[in-house]
Amino acid sequence: MRKVHFKGIALPYLLLLPQLVITGLFFFWPAGMAVYQSFLREDAFGLSSQFVGWENYADVLSDPTWLESAARTGVFSVSVAVLALGVALFLAVQADKHIRGADTYKTLLIWPYAVAPALAAVLWLFMFHPNIGIFGRMLNALGIPWDYRLNGGQALTLVILASAWKQVSYNFIFFLAGLQSIPRAVLEAAAIDGASPMRRFWTVVFPLLSPTAFFLLVVNLVYAFFDTFGVIHSLTQGGPGKSTETLIYRVYTDGVMNLNLGSSAAQSVILMIIVVVLTAVQFRYVERKVHY
């Protein structure tokens, strides 16, 4: 990093100001409001509110349906992360080989990242809708009863697929960069040492990719926790029943649909704490534990 020396202190602060204003306006203020709101409870008509301390948190954490949502979110997030990472790693390894048209292939793989979540959902809807989706109709024609609007398991599978698909491109870019930073000579040394391509991958390539993989795991979990709202909202609205209602979707349902602001705010704060913990773990682990 190049060091720049300013004469006064006005200019550096002025240059920092836009960033600070944006962060304050769009993060600290709403986050602060959420924290404040989470200690309040409104009456049924929204006319008055009173301070209730930790009561909202206690209610949320002892609500069996919330705990179910949390467990569902766990299954959902881990599935999305594992699927997105696995597919991306496979594709990156293929792209890293010197194949013809590799550049085109890479560009095409990066496209899904540019697609908005709602559009991605519509795309999957067109594929898997039981009446108008190509694969949906095909499955039904083959005698497999497919209707994600009625079957909770199928609904969860579909949102997992759609969410993972969106994240594959992001992971792909990082994995490819990681693969390309592994010195060729190290792989050649392994080849001369007698390792088969599979063995080279698992004993040399994968360990060297592990910092990248760990970073992506955290990013993917955060993505699955928070950024999949659009996909779920467009595809299933959390249904059927509550079978695709993740924690973030529940924040929306409780706050925006049911106008239970206190509980919704408390849930948001809990989610915020989760993301802070994930990020902290990432920083500590990536800097300390990954050795080379």
Q: What minimum distance in Å lies between the beta carbon of 174 and another protein?
A: 18
Rounded least distance, CB 56 to another protein, Å? 47
> Could you give the CA distance from residue 127 to residue 148 in angstroms, rounded to a whole number?
12
Q: Report how far residue 237's alpha carbon sits from residue 245's, in angstroms, rounded to the nearest whole number.
A: 8
- The single residue among 186, 257, 259, 281 that binds another protein, judged by CB under 8 A, is 186
Closer residue to another protein, CB minimum distance, 196 or 279:
196
Does 198 engage in binding with another protein (CB under 8 A)?
no
Our finding on whether 191 is near another protein (CB under 8 A) is yes
Q: Would you count residue 189 as binding another protein (CB under 8 A)? A: yes
Q: Which of 40, 60, 95, 190 binds another protein (CB under 8 A)?
A: 190
Residue 182 falls in which region: left (phi positive, over 0), alpha (psi -120 to 50) or beta: beta
Helix (H, G, I), strand (E, B) or coil at 290: coil
CB 135 within 8 A of CB 157: no
State which of positions 19-48 bind another protein (CB under 8 A): none
Residues written for the chain: 292
Among 30, 58, 193, 257, binds another protein (CB under 8 A): 193
Q: How far is the CB of 206 from another protein (least distance, A)?
A: 10
Residue type, 282: Q
Binders of another protein among 262-291, rule CB under 8 A? Answer: 291
Compute the least distance from the CB of residue 187 to another protein, in Å: 9
> Would you say 210 or 282 has its CB closer to another protein?
210
User: Comparing C-alpha atoms, which of 192, 194, 206 is closest to residue 92?
Assistant: 206
User: CA 179 → CA 36, 256, 272, 281, 283, distances in Å?
Assistant: 46, 44, 33, 24, 22
Please tell me the distance from the alpha carbon of residue 76 to that of residue 73, in angstroms, as a whole number: 5
Specify the residue, 1 or 192, whose C-beta has the smaller distance to another protein.
192
Indicate the residue among 118 and 182 with the shorter CB distance to another protein: 182
237 — alpha (psi -120 to 50), left (phi > 0) or beta? left
Count helices and strands (H / E) in the chain.
14, 2
Residues 6+ apart with CB under 8 A from 276: none
Using rule CB under 8 A, residue 181 touches another protein: no
- Decide whether 7 or 291 has the Cβ nearer to another protein: 291
CA distances from 154 to 75, 166, 199 (A): 14, 19, 36
- DSSP 8-state code for residue 240: S
Binding mask 131-170 for another protein (x = CB under 8 A): ----------------------------------------
Size of the site for another protein (CB under 8 A): 20
Per CB under 8 A, contacts with another protein among 207-226 are 207-208, 210
151 DSSP assignment: -
| Interface positions with another protein (CB under 8 A) | 183, 185-186, 188-196, 199, 203-204, 207-208, 210, 291-292
